[in-house]
Amino acid sequence: MIAKSTRINLCITLVCVVLFSACSNQEQHNVLSDQEKSEGWALLFDGDTMNGWHVFNKGNMLSAWSADSGKLICNPHTKNVKHGDLVTDKEYENYDLRFDWKISKAGNSGLFINVQERPEFGATFATGPEYQLLDDRNVEPDYLKNLSHKAASIFGVIPDTSKTMPNSGEWNHSRIVQKDGKVTFWLNGVQTVTADFKSDEWKKAVAASSMSKYPSYAAAVKGHIALQDWTSGVAFRDIKIKEL
Protein backbone atom coordinates (compact mmCIF):
# COMPACT_ATOMS: atom_id res chain seq x y z
CA MET A 1 0.00 0.00 0.00
CA ILE A 2 1.29 3.47 -0.96
CA ALA A 3 1.90 5.71 2.03
CA LYS A 4 -0.29 8.78 2.42
CA SER A 5 2.68 11.16 2.09
CA THR A 6 3.74 9.43 -1.12
CA ARG A 7 0.24 9.76 -2.58
CA ILE A 8 0.23 13.48 -1.75
CA ASN A 9 3.61 13.94 -3.41
CA LEU A 10 2.39 12.09 -6.52
CA CYS A 11 -0.69 14.33 -6.69
CA ILE A 12 1.42 17.47 -6.37
CA THR A 13 3.75 16.23 -9.10
CA LEU A 14 0.82 15.44 -11.40
CA VAL A 15 -0.71 18.89 -10.87
CA CYS A 16 2.62 20.55 -11.64
CA VAL A 17 3.00 18.50 -14.83
CA VAL A 18 -0.50 19.47 -15.99
CA LEU A 19 0.05 23.16 -15.23
CA PHE A 20 3.44 23.19 -16.94
CA SER A 21 1.98 21.48 -19.99
CA ALA A 22 -0.87 24.00 -20.19
CA CYS A 23 1.54 26.93 -19.96
CA SER A 24 3.90 25.50 -22.55
CA ASN A 25 1.04 24.89 -24.97
CA GLN A 26 -0.33 28.42 -24.55
CA GLU A 27 0.25 30.49 -27.67
CA GLN A 28 2.88 33.19 -27.41
CA HIS A 29 2.64 36.29 -29.52
CA ASN A 30 5.00 39.08 -30.54
CA VAL A 31 8.06 36.96 -29.83
CA LEU A 32 10.65 35.35 -32.08
CA SER A 33 11.95 31.83 -31.70
CA ASP A 34 15.68 31.20 -31.61
CA GLN A 35 15.41 29.78 -35.12
CA GLU A 36 13.63 32.89 -36.41
CA LYS A 37 16.30 35.09 -34.86
CA SER A 38 19.04 33.04 -36.51
CA GLU A 39 17.22 33.35 -39.85
CA GLY A 40 17.23 37.14 -39.61
CA TRP A 41 13.64 37.89 -38.59
CA ALA A 42 12.91 41.07 -36.64
CA LEU A 43 9.75 42.13 -34.80
CA LEU A 44 8.08 45.34 -35.96
CA PHE A 45 5.82 45.33 -32.88
CA ASP A 46 7.05 44.23 -29.46
CA GLY A 47 3.56 43.75 -28.00
CA ASP A 48 3.94 46.47 -25.35
CA THR A 49 5.05 49.75 -26.93
CA MET A 50 4.77 51.85 -30.08
CA ASN A 51 8.54 51.75 -30.54
CA GLY A 52 9.53 51.78 -34.20
CA TRP A 53 6.33 53.50 -35.36
CA HIS A 54 5.05 57.06 -35.74
CA VAL A 55 2.09 58.90 -37.26
CA PHE A 56 2.55 59.65 -40.95
CA ASN A 57 3.98 63.15 -41.45
CA LYS A 58 3.34 63.97 -37.77
CA GLY A 59 5.99 62.05 -35.81
CA ASN A 60 5.58 60.58 -32.33
CA MET A 61 2.44 61.83 -30.63
CA LEU A 62 -0.71 60.67 -28.89
CA SER A 63 -2.93 59.17 -31.58
CA ALA A 64 -5.75 56.76 -32.30
CA TRP A 65 -3.13 53.99 -32.19
CA SER A 66 -2.12 52.17 -29.02
CA ALA A 67 -0.43 49.03 -27.76
CA ASP A 68 -3.02 47.15 -25.70
CA SER A 69 -2.82 43.61 -24.30
CA GLY A 70 -0.30 42.45 -26.90
CA LYS A 71 -2.16 44.04 -29.82
CA LEU A 72 -1.45 47.11 -31.92
CA ILE A 73 -4.89 48.72 -32.09
CA CYS A 74 -6.47 51.58 -33.99
CA ASN A 75 -9.68 53.09 -32.68
CA PRO A 76 -10.80 55.53 -35.41
CA HIS A 77 -13.51 56.95 -33.13
CA THR A 78 -11.10 58.12 -30.41
CA LYS A 79 -11.44 61.85 -29.73
CA ASN A 80 -8.93 64.50 -28.63
CA VAL A 81 -6.02 62.71 -30.30
CA LYS A 82 -4.31 62.95 -33.67
CA HIS A 83 -5.65 60.69 -36.39
CA GLY A 84 -3.56 59.35 -39.21
CA ASP A 85 -1.90 56.28 -40.60
CA LEU A 86 0.89 54.68 -38.62
CA VAL A 87 4.23 54.15 -40.39
CA THR A 88 7.45 52.37 -39.57
CA ASP A 89 10.42 54.50 -38.62
CA LYS A 90 12.55 52.52 -41.07
CA GLU A 91 12.19 52.04 -44.81
CA TYR A 92 12.28 48.59 -46.42
CA GLU A 93 12.98 47.37 -49.94
CA ASN A 94 13.42 43.60 -50.27
CA TYR A 95 11.70 41.62 -47.54
CA ASP A 96 9.34 38.94 -46.31
CA LEU A 97 6.66 40.55 -44.11
CA ARG A 98 4.20 38.54 -42.03
CA PHE A 99 1.45 39.77 -39.73
CA ASP A 100 -1.83 38.83 -38.07
CA TRP A 101 -4.83 41.12 -38.25
CA LYS A 102 -8.42 41.26 -37.03
CA ILE A 103 -11.00 43.80 -38.12
CA SER A 104 -14.39 44.92 -36.85
CA LYS A 105 -17.60 43.69 -38.48
CA ALA A 106 -17.87 44.96 -42.08
CA GLY A 107 -14.56 46.71 -41.40
CA ASN A 108 -12.26 48.23 -44.01
CA SER A 109 -8.60 49.08 -43.51
CA GLY A 110 -5.25 48.42 -45.16
CA LEU A 111 -1.51 47.97 -44.99
CA PHE A 112 0.64 50.00 -47.39
CA ILE A 113 4.13 49.29 -48.70
CA ASN A 114 6.78 51.54 -50.28
CA VAL A 115 5.25 54.62 -48.67
CA GLN A 116 7.11 57.90 -49.21
CA GLU A 117 6.89 60.25 -46.26
CA ARG A 118 7.22 63.87 -47.33
CA PRO A 119 5.08 66.97 -46.71
CA GLU A 120 3.89 67.09 -50.34
CA PHE A 121 2.20 63.72 -49.91
CA GLY A 122 -0.96 64.16 -47.90
CA ALA A 123 -1.71 60.45 -47.47
CA THR A 124 0.06 57.12 -47.49
CA PHE A 125 -2.06 55.88 -50.40
CA ALA A 126 -0.70 58.66 -52.63
CA THR A 127 2.53 56.66 -52.96
CA GLY A 128 2.06 53.21 -51.39
CA PRO A 129 0.24 50.20 -52.88
CA GLU A 130 -2.28 48.82 -50.40
CA TYR A 131 -2.80 45.29 -49.14
CA GLN A 132 -6.55 45.52 -48.60
CA LEU A 133 -7.84 44.48 -45.18
CA LEU A 134 -11.57 43.84 -45.29
CA ASP A 135 -14.32 41.81 -43.65
CA ASP A 136 -15.46 40.35 -46.99
CA ARG A 137 -18.31 38.37 -45.49
CA ASN A 138 -20.14 41.36 -44.00
CA VAL A 139 -19.54 44.29 -46.34
CA GLU A 140 -22.21 45.37 -48.82
CA PRO A 141 -22.18 42.85 -51.71
CA ASP A 142 -21.98 45.65 -54.30
CA TYR A 143 -18.62 46.73 -52.88
CA LEU A 144 -17.09 43.40 -53.91
CA LYS A 145 -18.30 43.54 -57.49
CA ASN A 146 -14.87 45.08 -58.01
CA LEU A 147 -12.48 42.30 -56.94
CA SER A 148 -9.69 44.82 -56.41
CA HIS A 149 -11.66 45.81 -53.29
CA LYS A 150 -11.48 42.27 -51.91
CA ALA A 151 -9.25 41.42 -48.94
CA ALA A 152 -5.65 40.67 -49.98
CA SER A 153 -6.00 42.50 -53.30
CA ILE A 154 -3.75 45.40 -54.30
CA PHE A 155 -6.53 47.85 -53.61
CA GLY A 156 -8.00 49.49 -56.68
CA VAL A 157 -5.45 47.98 -59.08
CA ILE A 158 -4.97 44.19 -58.96
CA PRO A 159 -7.97 41.99 -58.07
CA ASP A 160 -7.85 39.02 -55.76
CA THR A 161 -9.45 36.29 -57.86
CA SER A 162 -8.71 33.52 -55.37
CA LYS A 163 -11.52 31.84 -53.45
CA THR A 164 -10.04 32.66 -50.08
CA MET A 165 -11.84 34.95 -47.64
CA PRO A 166 -10.69 36.26 -44.26
CA ASN A 167 -12.22 34.76 -41.16
CA SER A 168 -14.77 37.25 -39.91
CA GLY A 169 -14.20 38.39 -36.33
CA GLU A 170 -11.07 36.23 -36.02
CA TRP A 171 -7.34 36.60 -36.48
CA ASN A 172 -6.10 36.25 -40.04
CA HIS A 173 -2.54 35.71 -41.20
CA SER A 174 -1.08 37.66 -44.10
CA ARG A 175 2.23 37.64 -45.91
CA ILE A 176 3.87 40.04 -48.34
CA VAL A 177 7.11 39.27 -50.16
CA GLN A 178 8.82 41.99 -52.18
CA LYS A 179 12.03 41.41 -54.10
CA ASP A 180 13.45 43.76 -56.75
CA GLY A 181 10.05 45.37 -57.28
CA LYS A 182 8.17 42.10 -57.63
CA VAL A 183 5.53 41.59 -54.95
CA THR A 184 3.32 38.68 -53.89
CA PHE A 185 0.46 38.71 -51.38
CA TRP A 186 -0.91 35.78 -49.35
CA LEU A 187 -3.93 35.45 -47.07
CA ASN A 188 -4.16 32.53 -44.63
CA GLY A 189 -1.66 30.53 -46.68
CA VAL A 190 -3.28 31.18 -50.08
CA GLN A 191 -1.51 33.29 -52.71
CA THR A 192 -3.87 36.06 -53.79
CA VAL A 193 -2.02 38.45 -56.12
CA THR A 194 1.37 39.04 -57.68
CA ALA A 195 2.72 42.06 -59.54
CA ASP A 196 5.93 43.55 -60.89
CA PHE A 197 5.99 47.26 -60.06
CA LYS A 198 8.58 47.85 -62.79
CA SER A 199 6.62 46.16 -65.56
CA ASP A 200 4.56 47.70 -68.38
CA GLU A 201 1.67 45.46 -67.35
CA TRP A 202 1.61 47.04 -63.89
CA LYS A 203 1.85 50.57 -65.30
CA LYS A 204 -1.11 49.87 -67.60
CA ALA A 205 -3.14 48.50 -64.68
CA VAL A 206 -2.43 51.64 -62.63
CA ALA A 207 -3.28 53.90 -65.56
CA ALA A 208 -6.66 52.18 -65.88
CA SER A 209 -7.38 52.45 -62.14
CA SER A 210 -8.54 55.14 -59.74
CA MET A 211 -4.95 55.37 -58.47
CA SER A 212 -3.88 57.02 -61.73
CA LYS A 213 -4.73 60.43 -60.24
CA TYR A 214 -1.76 60.09 -57.88
CA PRO A 215 1.35 60.68 -60.03
CA SER A 216 3.78 59.27 -57.43
CA TYR A 217 1.72 56.15 -56.69
CA ALA A 218 3.94 53.01 -56.76
CA ALA A 219 6.82 54.99 -58.23
CA ALA A 220 9.22 53.67 -55.57
CA VAL A 221 10.10 50.10 -54.64
CA LYS A 222 11.49 51.09 -51.25
CA GLY A 223 9.73 52.91 -48.44
CA HIS A 224 7.87 52.77 -45.16
CA ILE A 225 5.27 50.18 -44.19
CA ALA A 226 2.03 51.85 -43.08
CA LEU A 227 -1.13 50.80 -41.25
CA GLN A 228 -4.33 52.61 -42.10
CA ASP A 229 -6.45 54.66 -39.72
CA TRP A 230 -9.70 54.46 -41.67
CA THR A 231 -13.36 54.04 -40.71
CA SER A 232 -13.10 50.78 -38.79
CA GLY A 233 -11.39 49.41 -35.73
CA VAL A 234 -8.49 47.12 -36.57
CA ALA A 235 -5.87 45.23 -34.57
CA PHE A 236 -2.49 43.72 -35.44
CA ARG A 237 -0.08 41.34 -33.75
CA ASP A 238 2.95 39.19 -34.61
CA ILE A 239 4.23 41.72 -37.16
CA LYS A 240 7.65 40.49 -38.24
CA ILE A 241 9.97 41.07 -41.17
CA LYS A 242 13.03 39.47 -42.71
CA GLU A 243 15.05 41.59 -45.08
CA LEU A 244 16.14 39.73 -48.19
Q: What is the pLDDT of residues 188-243, one digit of tens each?
A: 999 999 999 999 999 999 999 999 999 999 999 999 999 999 878 899 999 999 99
Please state, in angstroms and rounded to a whole number, the distance separating the CA atoms of residues 175 and 173: 7
Under-70 pLDDT residues of the chain:
1-26
Please state, in angstroms and rounded to a whole number, the distance separating the CA atoms of residues 82 and 5: 63
Per-residue confidence (pLDDT) for residue 9, from 0 to 100 = 52
The 10s digit of each residue's pLDDT in 21-36 is: 444 446 899 999 999 9
Per-residue confidence (pLDDT) for residue 237, from 0 to 100 = 98
- Of 121, 137, 107, which Cα lies nearest the Cα of 236? 107
Please state, in angstroms and rounded to a whole number, the distance separating the CA atoms of residues 198 and 200: 7
User: DSSP assignment of 43-70, as one string?
Assistant: ES--SS--TTEEETTTBS--BSEEEETT
Backbone φ and ψ for 220, nearest 5 degrees, come out as -110, 150
Per-residue confidence (pLDDT) for residue 29, from 0 to 100 = 97
- Of 194, 212, 241, 187, which Cα lies nearest the Cα of 53? 241
Task: Say which CATH architecture domain 30-243 belongs to.
Answer: Sandwich (2.60)
> pTM for the whole thing?
0.88
Per-residue confidence (pLDDT) for residue 18, from 0 to 100 = 43
DSSP 29: -
DSSP 151: T
- Report the SS3 class of residue 146: coil
Please state, in angstroms and rounded to a whole number, the distance separating the CA atoms of residues 184 and 65: 27
Which amino acid, residue 181? G
